[in-house]
Structure 1
Amino acid sequence: MIVKHLEQIVGTADDIDTPTWNSRRFLLKRDNMGFSLHDTIIKAGTETLIWYRNHLEAVYCIEGEGEIEVVGGETYPIQPGMMYALNGHEKHYLRAKTAMRMVCVFNPPLTGREVHDEEGTYPLANA
């Protein structure tokens, strides 16, 4: 059984802070669960281009407000209680009106050090 508390992750190597988001990574590839689990803060007033070419992601908003705009498609408001799943590797913009707290799940799981490249993509980890 794996048991972790947020305060055990904050300030460690599993707490990744960038100019637009901060991801506290609870479960990673090394945990052998088949997915990774993240508590992520999207910083207020930011916009991030994201394109998970190599991963599927599900996101559940628990705090804050913003929007997700699919490139060439629709824009959806984000607020607490809203979930979206990027099951088609959709390239998108994530915008935060206020700080948003999101629970994110990735398949395949992340290794823990990933940050978005210039295309908004995470690399696919080697086996």
Structure 2
Amino acid sequence: PIDPDVTNTSNILQSPSLTHLFGTDELGRDYFVRTVYGGRVSLTVGVLAMIISTSIGVAFGTISGYFGGKIDSILMRFVDLISSIPWMILVTVISIFLKPGLQAIIIVIGLFSWMETARLVRAETLSIKE
């Protein structure tokens, strides 16, 4: 673990190499380490929201495709209903009820980005079933 804010005057403005993959800046700080450090929050939000979204989508799609009939109709109409509401309005309304922070962002993105996954999983389940 390298500290992204540590300066090293002997490594000022070095070009990319095996020791500094993206090179260094005018203070000798490693660009790659700073990029990874800066991307931690974005990657965390993206990965965790994707896990939530995929879990919900796979569950809805599998149940809908496997059982079919009225259950399929009800679940897919629910997906249509959620899909028809503008995403930003849903996110804003749900955000009002959650404490501001990273967890709220992850939950809101995860809860409202599973509809396409559910449709795809349902279609695959139906094709395997028949």
Question: In which range does the TM-score fall when normalised by the shorter chain?
Answer: under 0.3
Using CA pairs under 8 Å that are at least 6 residues apart, name the structure with larger relative contact order, 1 or 2: 1
Q: Greater helix share, 1 or 2? A: 2
Instruction: State which structure, 1 or 2, has the greater radius of gyration over its C-alpha atoms.
Output: 2
Using the size of structure 2 for normalisation, the TM-score is 0.21
Using the size of structure 1 for normalisation, the TM-score is 0.22
Q: Greater strand share, 1 or 2? A: 1
